[in-house]
């Protein structure tokens, strides 16, 4: 078994980013610093919208990601950052590319912007960021495979008000059914739902 830490829908910039960072330190970073974990995944919507590089939201988001990276290196853990809703993450995850080089290859970080399989601690993981306007075959090619777990940002049928119909070909975000993941042998972890919880 591997110990996974997941967080999603932080939305840096939705409130005062300094306050938000302080809350994340107290309620997320400090508690997980006492756990030996194998994977830390930010499952989409790190940002609330597109910001200028000089905006405080960028500064504190970068600080948070660097704190997560330090904890990952301490634990020899893999760090995943999934792209979330386009209007929120808005292509800004590219600023984290090159972090692995900054740490001389000691950080295993993966920035996921398109559906793909990643091998994490020997487990075949289906990573599904939020994408738009793709044909159903784009997803079913992956969904029909066999894999150990799923990290995604998107919506599972019935999890969000109004997203009650299974639809992979929407011009908006696709809506997956739980049955679509019949090839998954383990957990399916999704973001997107703005409901505070700790599992």
Highest mean pLDDT among 32-41, 148-157, 163-172: 32-41
DSSP string, 10-66: --BTSS-HHHHHHHHIIIIIHHHTTS--SEEEE-S--BSS---TTSHHHHHHHHHHH
DSSP SS3 for 118: strand
Residue with tokens 């994340």: 24
Backbone angles phi, psi at 101, to 5 degrees: -65, -35
Average pLDDT score over residue span 34-57? 96
pLDDT score at 114: 96
The answer to whether the CB of 2 falls within 8 A of the CB of 123 is: yes
pLDDT greater than 90 at residue 98: no
Nearest Cα to Cα of residue 1 among 198, 190, 187: 187
pLDDT tens, residue by residue, 137-147: 999 999 999 99
Of all residues in the chain, the percent with pLDDT exceeding 70 is 97
pLDDT of amino acid 194: 74
Confirm if 65 and 81 have CB atoms less than 8 A apart. Answer: yes
């Amino acid at each position: 078994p591997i110990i996974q830490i997941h967080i999603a829908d932080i939305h840096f910039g939705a409130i005062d980013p300094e306050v938000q960072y302080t809350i994340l330190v107290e309620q997320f970073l400090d508690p997980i610093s006492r756990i030996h974990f194998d994977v830390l995944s930010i499952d989409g919507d790190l940002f609330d919208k597109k910001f200028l590089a000089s905006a405080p939201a960028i500064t504190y988001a970068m600080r948070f990601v660097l704190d997560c990276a330090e904890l990952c290196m301490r634990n020899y853990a893999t760090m995943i950052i999934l792209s979330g809703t386009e209007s929120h993450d808005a292509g800004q995850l590219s600023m984290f590319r090159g972090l692995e080089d900054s740490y001389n290859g000691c950080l295993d970080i993966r920035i996921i912007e398109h559906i793909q399989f990643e091998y994490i601690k020997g487990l075949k993981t289906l990573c599904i960021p939020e994408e738009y306007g793709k044909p159903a075959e784009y997803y079913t090619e992956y969904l029909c495979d066999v894999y150990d777990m799923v990290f995604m940002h998107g919506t599972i049928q019935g999890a969000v008000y109004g997203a009650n119909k299974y639809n992979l070909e929407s011009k908006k975000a696709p809506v997956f059914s739980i049955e679509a993941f019949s090839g998954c042998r383990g957990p399916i972890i999704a973001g997107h739902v703005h409901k505070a919880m700790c599992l």
